[in-house]
Amino acid sequence: MILATSDGEKAGPLVEYERRIASGELIEGDHFQVDTIHLLQRLYDELTEKEDECQLDRYSSSKKAGRSRWLWSRIIPQSTSAPVKGLYLYGGVGTGKTMLMDLFYEQLPSNWRKKRIHFHDFMLHVHSRLQMHKGVTDPLEVVAAEISDEAIILCLDEFMVSDVADALILNRLFRHLFSTGVVLVSTSNRAPDNLYEGGLQRDLFLPFIETLKERCMVHEIGSSVDYRKMGSAEQGYYYVGSKYNQLLKQKFQELVGDEKPRPQVVEVIMGRKLEVPLGANGCAYFPFEELCDRPLGAADYFGLFKKFHTLALEGVPKFGQSNRTAAYRFVTLVDVMYENKGRLLCTAEASPVELFESIVTVADAKKFSPRSSSRSKRIDDLELCVDNELGFSKDRTISRLTELNSKEYLEHFEAKANLKKTSLAVEAQ
C-alpha cells in the first residue's frame, strides 16, 4: 500500500523513484533496485502509519534535552524499542544503495526527527560527545539519549567497521539507541555477519551483529551492475604518471584563479588542526605523503572538505604490503571526498584498478595457490597484500574514483558551484 499526502496524492520513495525515471533524471534500475525501493516504501508507510507511536514529530515530541532525559531515566527506568524495524541494505559497489537510501530520506516529512550521516562522521561525533561527558557513570547512555532527541530515524551511509575503538562500543551504543526508539536505516558493502571480520577483539563485537539483525531487516542488493561506471569516465583530472605533476599544478592554479595559494590551517574536531601546504579559493594542494602517509584519519579529512571543495593530490602510489596503512587512509579520504561531493585532481602511478591490484582478500589469495611455474613470477611481482577489509573496500574506492572523474559528475559539480556563486552574488546586492 502506498499512502497519500493530505491533498490525496501518493507519497513516498517508490513514487519519487518512478517519477525520476519517467523524467530521465535516473536510468531504470534492475530488479534488485526495484525490490529495494519497494522495501523502503513499505518502511515509509509503516512509519507514516505509526508516526505518533514512534514520536517522529520533532515539535510534538518531548522537549527534554538528552542529558535531562537520561537523568530522569535514573529515577524511572524506561526502555521502549520502536514498533517498526529498520533496514540494513548491503551489496556490491555502485548498485545504488546510497541513492536509494537518500531518496527514502528526502521523502520523509521535514518535521520528523531524522538524520542522514556517513558512518565515519557519525562515529567521530560519538567519540567527541563521549569526551564531553567524561566522568558520567555511563556516557554512552547519555550520548544515545542526545542522538535520539535529535533523530529517531537514523540513516547511516557506508557502515564499515575497521577501528577497534568503534568496534568495542557499538553494541552498547546501539542497544541504548534502540531502547530509546531509534529506527536505523543503513547501507554497507558488507553483510552484518562479515562486519569487522578479522578485527582485534572481534568476540566483543559479535553481540552487536545480533543486536543489528534483531532490530533491522537485512536486505542484499545483489546486482552485479556498477552504475557509477556507466558515465563518461574518460573525462576528468586523473593523470597517470609523475610527468603530469607540473600539469596538475597548472590545473590547480587555473581553478584557483587570481588568488595566490598559501599555507593554511584547518580546524578539526576535538581541538585538532590540519596543516594545508597550499590553499586558495576553495582548492587545496597536497603531496600524497602529507595527506596519507601521516597519522591522519576521517576527522582530518572531514575538516578538510568543510573548508575546501577541491583537492589536488600529487603522487598517488600503487598499494601493497609496504604501504597498506596509506592505502587505508586513501580509501577513507576518497570516501569522505565522495560524501562531501568534492572534486579531485590527481597524479597517480597507475589507473584506479591497477593501484589496488596487489590488495586481495583471503578468498582471492587462495585462488593464486597452488602456483604454477608460469604464474609464479607474476604473483611475486605483485607483492600481494592479503587484507580482507581493504580487499573489500578497494572496489568501492575504484568505483568512486571512476565516478569522481566522469563527465557527468564534474558537470554536476560545476553547475552546483555556479548556483552557489549566483546565490552569494544576489545576497551581496
> pLDDT tens digits for 192-229?
999 998 888 899 999 999 999 999 999 999 876 666 66
145 falls within a domain? yes
275 lies in the same domain as 129 = no
At 66 the pLDDT is: 45
Q: How many domains does the chain have?
A: 2
- d(C-alpha 310, C-alpha 413), whole Å: 10
pLDDT score of 349 more than 50: yes
Taking the CA atoms of 374, 380, 383 and 389 in sequence, report the sign of the dihedral they define: positive
375 lies in the same domain as 401 = yes
7 falls within a domain? no
Percent of the chain past pLDDT 70, that is, above it, reads 84
194 lies in the same domain as 45 = yes
6 falls within a domain? no
Which of 171, 198, 221 is at the close of a domain? 221
Going by C-alpha positions, the residue among 150, 139, 229, 215 that lies closest to residue 183 is 215
Q: Average of pLDDT values for 23-50?
A: 90
8 falls within a domain? no
294 lies in the same domain as 158 = no
Question: Global pTM?
Answer: 0.77
- d(C-alpha 173, C-alpha 161), whole Å: 14
249 lies in the same domain as 205 = no
Q: Which of 71-80, 159-168, 309-318 has the lowest mean pLDDT?
A: 71-80
At 370 the pLDDT is: 54
Which of 201, 221, 241 is at the close of a domain? 221
At 208 the pLDDT is: 95
- d(C-alpha 93, C-alpha 99), whole Å: 12
- Expressed as residue numbers, the domain containing 37 is 13-221
